[in-house]
A and B are shown apart, each in its own frame.
Chain A
Amino acid sequence: MGLDFTVIPSYADALLLGVLWTIAITVSSAVLSFFGGIMFAVIALYAPLVIRLPFRFFAWLFMGTPLLLQLFLIYFGLVELGIDLPAFVAGVIGLGLHFAVYNSELIQTAIVAVDKGQMEAARTLGLSRPQALIKVVIPQAVRDVIPPIGNNMIALLKDSALVSVIGVTELTLSAQLAIGRTYRPFEFYAAAAVLYYIINLGMEAVLRRIERRTQLSR
Chain B
Amino acid sequence: MDIDLMLRVYPYFLEAAWVTIQLSVLTIILGLICGMLGAAGRLSRFALLRFLAAAYVSFFRGTPALIQIFLLYFGGPQVGIQLDAFEAGVIGLGVNIGAYMTETMRGAIISIDKGQIEAARTLGLSRFETFRKVTLPQALRLMIRPLGVNINAQIKGTALVAAISVVELTYTAQRYIGSTYKPFEMFLIAGILYLIIITASGKVISYLDRRVRLQ
Seen from chain A, the residues whose Cβ lies within 8 Å of a Cβ on chain B are: 1-3, 60-61, 64-70, 72-73, 76-77, 80, 158-162, 164-165, 172, 175, 179, 184-187, 189-190, 192-193, 196-197, 200-201
Q: Which residue of B lies closest to A155 (CB)?
A: B153
Seen from chain B, the residues whose Cβ lies within 8 Å of a Cβ on chain A are: 59, 62-68, 70-71, 74-79, 156-160, 162-163, 169-170, 173-174, 177-178, 181-184, 187, 190-191, 194-195, 198-199
Asked if residues B71 and A64 are in contact (CB atoms below 8 Å), the reply is no
CB-CB under 8 A from A197, the residues of chain B are 59, 62-63
Given contacts A64-B198, A65-B194, contact A77 B75 (CB under 8 A): no
Asked if residues A65 and B70 are in contact (CB atoms below 8 Å), the reply is no
Asked if residues B78 and A3 are in contact (CB atoms below 8 Å), the reply is yes
- Selected from B75, B158, B163, the residue in CB contact (under 8 A) with A190 is B75
Cα separation A158 to B61 with both chains bound (whole Å): 9
* Most A-side CB within 10 Å, residue of B66, B169, B195: B66
CB-CB under 8 A from B162, the residues of chain A are 68
Judged by DSSP, the binding face of A is helix
CB-CB under 8 A from B191, the residues of chain A are 61, 64-65, 69
CB-CB under 8 A from B66, the residues of chain A are 161-162, 164, 172
A selection of 11 A-B contacts at a CB cut-off of 8 Å is A65-B194, A66-B159, A66-B160, A69-B191, A80-B183, A172-B64, A185-B71, A185-B75, A185-B78, A189-B74, A197-B59
Judged by DSSP, the binding face of B is helix
Asked if residues B64 and A189 are in contact (CB atoms below 8 Å), the reply is no
- Selected from A68, A73, A158, the residue in CB contact (under 8 A) with B64 is A158
- Selected from B68, B74, B194, B198, the residue in CB contact (under 8 A) with A179 is B74
CB-CB under 8 A from A80, the residues of chain B are 181-184
- Selected from A69, A160, A172, A190, the residue in CB contact (under 8 A) with B194 is A69
CB-CB under 8 A from B157, the residues of chain A are 66
CB distance from A28 to the nearest CB of B (A): 18
- Nearest 4 Cβ contacts at the A-B interface: A186-B75, A66-B159, A185-B74, A161-B64
Q: Which residue of B lies closest to A73 (CB)?
A: B187
Given contacts A65-B156, A66-B159, A68-B160, contact A196 B64 (CB under 8 A): yes
Cα separation A68 to B163 with both chains bound (whole Å): 9
